[in-house]
């Protein structure tokens, strides 16, 4: 069992405790508590933490310390960011935090920026572009290129500072942002993705997804073109927002015009190719840095799916066996697709550990709405198409066509039909799969099997083979071979 570990993040707007469990490479949230202490409000006004905000923060931190003791969580990282860093009385406040038994570490602006960027790299392996992490007191910007984070800077553009900065009008605000970027010598990012981190950015993503009637509601990995994002920001910064947005609190909603105005200025200045929203940032970056190089190299999608499906009693080794058995009939286009096919296989098999009348809908929900890391919208859609086809449903999912091409959805459906054939033909027996094989011979999709298991090929298996062959454009064929014959 994976040991619990925790991060306490003393931010400028909120003070948060997150307790993580699950696999090291794809941690799951077991407890997530926050208190809106608004430590940065006083700092923005007069350079000091107010007594009211400090007392609210310390009360929350006393509760968090007690929770960690009661749960026996020993791996705890406590960090403080912009408000504590910039306040005249920040050191006094942190001394009070230490009296609670919390070993708090004050991050510099550069450390905060680089740690947030590390969280993005952990969530999007190989990512290249700029990370923009907005908090209550500051905006952190970092260049990322694979595993490299550099040029980290912290700018006084947090959400608690923005209302005052915008009072002079849009033109003056934009000039102020441009000046701060110039002073930080920030000029990169053109035609590269801009990764957006922070609660206000997530709220903006939720707003956009609600407005667009998006097929899923997890903001992690949600992507918009720069043009579409800028149009949305221009609309939002006027303050005429819908008020019935699910998963966006009223306090976050009031911050959205300011957040949108800042993002519009960044889009204009940095000229990225697109924006990508990341739910992983500072806290996940802290955890990722604790991992060994071997653990960091693991695939976060497969690690997360494996953990989830094995709790439902579906062994990953059997899913890997089926993925190999079906590979010739339902190939994946490249290594990136192979990992999606394996994830789809694990989820498809796990669906059969649930109620029969729920498994199709539930499996699609898993694919589209669970917090998976290391997969984009198209990948989610392909997995959803696969798990749906695996249940025998020929249902059309038109909403998926908004996030994946017809060819990709067709490929996902082929994966699902191949999984269905393997699952039903073998009845879950690894030995049955070992004594059989799929192959493509000319224009035929051939299912070959040794004579002792030929009795498994009954009408349902014949129908499954025919359905798969039709989707991949081949004719179905079955062959029984002797003990000395080669399966493929």
Span 53-86, pLDDT tens digits: 999 999 999 999 999 999 999 999 999 999 999 9
What DSSP designation does 220 have? T
Q: How many CB atoms lie within 10 A of CB 352?
A: 16
Res 247 pLDDT > 90? no
CA distance 105 to 242: 39
Res 283 pLDDT > 50? yes
Per the structure block, which two tokens stand in for 437? 């094989």
Mean of the per-residue pLDDT values of the chain? 93
Domains 5-106 and 300-481 share a fold: no
pLDDT tens string 177-191: 999 999 988 766 679
Cβ-contact 467, 419 below 8 angstroms = no
Res 1 pLDDT > 50? no
CA distance 366 to 218: 11
Q: What is the model's pLDDT at position 189?
A: 66
Q: What is the model's pLDDT at position 488?
A: 62
Rg (CA), the chain: 26
Fold held by 5-106: Nucleotidyltransferase; domain 5 (3.30.420)
**CATH: 1.10.540.10, 3.40.50.720, 1.20.272.10, 1.10.3210.10. Which one for 300-481?**
1.10.3210.10
Q: What is the model's pLDDT at position 435?
A: 96
Per the structure block, which two tokens stand in for 5? 């570990």
Question: By percentage, how much of the chain surpasses pLDDT 70?
Answer: 97
Per the structure block, which two tokens stand in for 300? 């976060």
Residue (of 154, 151, 139) closest to 200 by Cα position: 139
CATH class name, domain 110-283: alpha beta
Question: By percentage, how much of the chain surpasses pLDDT 90?
Answer: 84
Q: What is the model's pLDDT at position 269?
A: 93
Cβ-contact 160, 137 below 8 angstroms = yes
Q: Is 442 exposed, middle or buried (0-12, 13-18, 19+ CB in 10 A)?
A: exposed
Where are the domains positioned within the chain? 5-106, 110-283, 300-481
Cβ-contact 26, 373 below 8 angstroms = yes
Residues sharing a CB contact under 8 Å with residue 52, sequence separation 6 or more, in sequence order: none
Give the least confident one: 58-62, 352-356, 413-417, 480-484.
480-484
Q: What is the model's pLDDT at position 163?
A: 94
Res 170 pLDDT > 60? yes
For range 304-313, the mean pLDDT: 95
Q: What is the model's pLDDT at position 395?
A: 57
Residues sharing a CB contact under 8 Å with residue 24, sequence separation 6 or more, in sequence order: 2, 287, 291, 295, 298, 303
Q: Where are the alpha helices (DSSP H) in 213-358?
A: 226-236, 250-270, 282-289, 293-296, 300-311, 316-326, 335-351
pLDDT tens string 393-407: 765 677 888 899 999
For range 136-149, the mean pLDDT: 91
Q: What is the pTM of this model?
A: 0.91
CA distance 380 to 385: 9
For range 201-223, the mean pLDDT: 93
Res 252 pLDDT > 90? no
């Amino acid at each position: 069992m994976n040991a619990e570990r925790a991060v306490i993040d003393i931010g400028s707007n909120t003070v948060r405790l997150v307790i993580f469990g699950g696999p090291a490479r794809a941690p799951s949230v077991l407890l997530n508590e926050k208190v809106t202490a608004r430590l940065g409000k006083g700092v923005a006004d007069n350079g000091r933490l107010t007594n009211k905000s400090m007392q609210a923060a310390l009360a929350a931190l006393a509760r968090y310390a007690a929770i960690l003791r009661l749960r026996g969580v020993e791996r705890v990282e406590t960090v403080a960011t912009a408000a504590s860093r910039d306040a005249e009385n920040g050191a006094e406040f942190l001394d009070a935090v230490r009296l609670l038994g919390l070993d708090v570490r004050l991050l510099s602006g550069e450390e905060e920026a680089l740690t947030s960027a590390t969280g993005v790299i952990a969530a999007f392996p190989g990512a290249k572009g700029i990370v923009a992490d907005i908090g209550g007191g500051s905006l952190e910007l970092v260049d990322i290129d694979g595993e490299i984070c550099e040029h980290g800077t912290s700018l006084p553009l947090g959400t608690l500072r923005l209302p005052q900065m915008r009072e002079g009008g849009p033109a003056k605000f934009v000039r102020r942002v441009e000046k701060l970027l110039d002073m930080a010598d920030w000029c990169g990012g053109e035609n590269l993705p801009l990764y957006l981190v922070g609660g206000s950015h997530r709220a903006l993503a939720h707003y956009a997804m609600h407005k667009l009637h998006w097929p899923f509601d997890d903001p992690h990995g949600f992507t918009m073109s720069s043009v579409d994002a800028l149009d949305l920001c221009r609309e939002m910064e006027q303050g005429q927002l819908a008020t019935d947005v699910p998963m966006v609190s009223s306090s976050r909603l009031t911050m959205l015009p300011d957040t949108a105005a800042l993002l519009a200025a960044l889009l204009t200045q940095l000229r990225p190719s697109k924006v990508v929203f990341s739910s992983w940032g500072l806290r996940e970056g802290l955890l990722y840095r604790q991992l060994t190089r071997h653990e960091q190299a693991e695939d976060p999608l497969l690690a997360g799916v494996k953990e989830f499906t094995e709790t439902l009693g579906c062994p990953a080794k059997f899913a890997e066996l089926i993925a190999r058995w079906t590979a010739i009939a339902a190939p994946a286009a490249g290594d990136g697709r192979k990992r999606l096919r394996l994830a789809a296989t694990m989820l498809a098999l796990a669906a059969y550990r649930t109620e029969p009348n729920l498994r199709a809908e539930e499996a699609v929900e898993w694919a589209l709405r669970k917090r998976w890391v290391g997969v984009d919208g198209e990948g989610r859609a392909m997995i959803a198409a696969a798990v749906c086809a695996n249940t025998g449903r020929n249902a059309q999912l038109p909403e998926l066509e908004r996030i994946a091409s017809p060819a990709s959805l067709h490929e996902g459906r082929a994966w699902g039909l191949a999984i269905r054939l393997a699952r039903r033909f073998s009845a879950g027996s690894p030995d049955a799969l070992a004594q059989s094989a799929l192959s493509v011979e000319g224009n035929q999709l051939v299912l070959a099997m040794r004579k002792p298991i030929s009795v498994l090929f009954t009408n349902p298996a014949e129908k499954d083979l025919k359905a798969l062959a039709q989707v991949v454009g081949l004719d179905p064929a079955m062959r029984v071979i002797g003990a000395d014959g080669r399966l493929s």
